[in-house]
Structure 1
Amino acid sequence: MDIMRVKDELVCTRRVPGLRSASLRVLENQQGDLSVATDAVGVPTGKWVFTTSGSAARLAMSDPQVITDLSICGIIDQWDP
């Protein structure tokens, strides 16, 4: 698991069927690298979140058939980087 910050929402109207209607977010890690993650919790921009990657990312989604290798698992209520 990693801690990342949500930079923005990512809207893609054309996507592979395996993504279904999963919400997507642009995340930034503490080194400034950007990633795209599926959002299982509905997090707003600017919040710190914890994520899971690899095969566990699919299990974090309400539908484990969603194709993803990075998912947001929760919103961090209080954390000082």
Structure 2
Amino acid sequence: MNIQRVRSDLVATERVPGLRDKSLRVVEDGSGHLTVALDPVGAKTGDFVITIETSAARYAAGDYAIATDLTIGGIIDHWSEEHWRA
């Protein structure tokens, strides 16, 4: 698991069937690298989140058949930029 921050929503109108009704977010790690994560928890832009990678991301999404390798598993209640970039 990693701590990342949600940078924005991601709108993609053409998707594979398993992702058609799923929310996607652009997330950033502490070094500024951007990736796309499946968001089953409803994170908002600016939220710090816990992300789950690789095959465990499909389990976190609630369906092993979903095509994802990064899923937001939770929204962090108390975290600051100071902790994140350190």
- TM-score, with length taken from structure 2: 0.88
Alignment of 1:55-66 (within 5 A): 55-66=55-66
Alignment: residue pair count: 81
Residue 9 (structure 2) aligns with: 9
Output one character per residue of 1:10-29: Cα deviation in whole Å (capped at 9) or x when no partner: 01110112323110000000
Contact 1:20 1:66 in 2 (8 A): no
- The Cα of 1:67 is off from its aligned counterpart by 0.8
Which structure has the bigger radius of gyration? 2
Partner of 1:78: 78
1:29 corresponds to which residue? 29
Alignment-derived partner of residue 18 in structure 1: 18
Task: Look up the equivalent residue of 1:48 and give its one-letter code.
Answer: F
Distance in 1 of aligned mates of 2:15 and 2:40 = 17
Percent identical among aligned pairs is 54
Structure 1 unaligned regions, length at least 5: none
Moved >6 Å (runs of 4+): none
Letter in 2 for 1:69: D
Q: Does 1:48 align with 2:45?
A: no
